[in-house]
Structure 1
Amino acid sequence: MTPTTIAEHPLDKAVRLEPRGVGLYRGATTPDYWNMAGPFGGTTAAILLKAVLDHPERRGRPVALTVNFCAAVAEGEFEVSVRLVRDGRSTQHWNVEMTQGETVASTASAVTGAERDTWSHALAAPPVLPPPHAVATMPTDGRNAWLKRYEFRYVLGEPTRGLASAEAPGSAATQAWVRDEPARPLDYLALTALSDTFVVKILNVRGDVPPVATVSLSTYFMADEAALARQGARPLAAVSDARVFRHGFNDQSAELWSDDGQLLAVSHQVVWFKG
């Protein structure tokens, strides 16, 4: 019998890091997740988290990750450095930096923590959505490459040009099923990237896309390893909204839920837009 070769998933290729010393890694951009002026920010965030997860001193699972996107990542190689700044009994605090030559492209702070059995109480309720198979897939032909790396099934607020205007703004609220394309079992790297898959809200609200870029993205991981394993490669329920567009910036908040109703991650970001 001829062995079957399993191709590397595009996400794993995008976040691949080569160790160059303790806390120092080298990677390279891939065309699979290209956005308007550089790689999709979700993969950049996943790369920075991977550098933490690969560090030999790391303990526990990701709890929080904040990424500041300082400059567009240029096509080609980059370096990632990671430093443990505080090693506590329950949590570790990390600083991460991605550079290309003298340019700092992104910085991040991350927190990892040990799994503990504690009192739990869930206040938020999962969205009530029709099953994924009952919702049409959003076409991605002709769009930026990164959109083709996800399967989107919008229940509410599919981002479409021309449905709103500055004079008659639309709603920013969206509800969708989303998963990696091709399908990939969920882990913290995929969850990090998925937290940034909500198309810029100005498209929903104003009906167009001016020059735009995420400035800062924070993701809080509420799922343990067991919850990720239970979810596997099935679609996540994803909801997001915005509160205000002002002075060239807007906020955006999002939740990612398992298909059995467990909150896996919460994210908040601030986005710059021109005009």
Structure 2
Amino acid sequence: MKKMVAAFDGLKFSTGTRDYALYLSGLSKAHLVGAFMDDPTYTSYKIYDLVVKEGATDARVKKFEEKDRLTRDAAAVAFEKACREAGIVYSLHHNRRIAIQEIKHESIYADLMLIDAKETLTHYAEKPPTRFIRDLLTDTQCPVLLTPTRFKPFKKLVLLYDGEPSSVHAIKMFSYLLPELKELETEVLSVNTGKGGHHLPDNKLMKELMKRHFPSARFTVLKGNAEEQIIKHLQKAGDQTLVVLGAYRRGTVSRWFRESMADTLMRGLKLPLFIAHNK
């Protein structure tokens, strides 16, 4: 049985992450962990505003703390209720230390982590990629599925491939973790930025591997700037497409899957992204 971890901010509970987690754990009969990041340094209220505008009396601070506790408790109860109704084997983790450190630690003991692509763990709205997500992706110890705000079941897979080990590793990890999705329409997408025509890098080896993992996959090789061509192509793919990539790792760049590629996809698309890398 696989173990999937869905990471939540209990003060801004992501129903999208919940629904994708229920969907995938149900398909793969996985154990699902709801990891609630109850970071004590993060509250729904701003200390500065409380002190300057209202005066931070003990009674007023306790009132706000109690409100946050009830909000977090309600989110956990909602998660448990959804798991029971879906017949999912689950457990809860309440992480009450620094959120980013705790969730990275959780990733060591997970097969797959799911988290909202817009997660910030701050008061402030940030455009994707948020600092929290960038920090998580550079140090995670398991593949991560970044989820959109609204759940939509998958109908198509797009596997991004640039001939580098990280992209092949991500495709293999996806195949191992979610074999139930192999029957979906699958496209292997590559971009030739030079004069290599429309041939895949390591064409024979890659097609030999894909025949064993995704035998019905079709291959698309675009030409031009990788970021521009991939975004343009994926914008036409439909909103029930899952994108698989192996780009996000610290200190290494591939031919065209730089960290900015993952960032570009987060900025330009609202599709779920399965991201894995080999360190």
Give yes or no for TM over 0.5.
Answer: no
After TM superposition, the score normalised by the length of structure 2 is 0.27
Q: By percentage of residues, which structure has more helix?
A: 2
Q: Which has the larger radius of gyration?
A: 2
After TM superposition, the score normalised by the length of structure 1 is 0.27
Q: By percentage of residues, which structure has more strand?
A: 1
Structure with more contact order per residue of length (Cα contacts < 8 Å, sep ≥ 6): 2
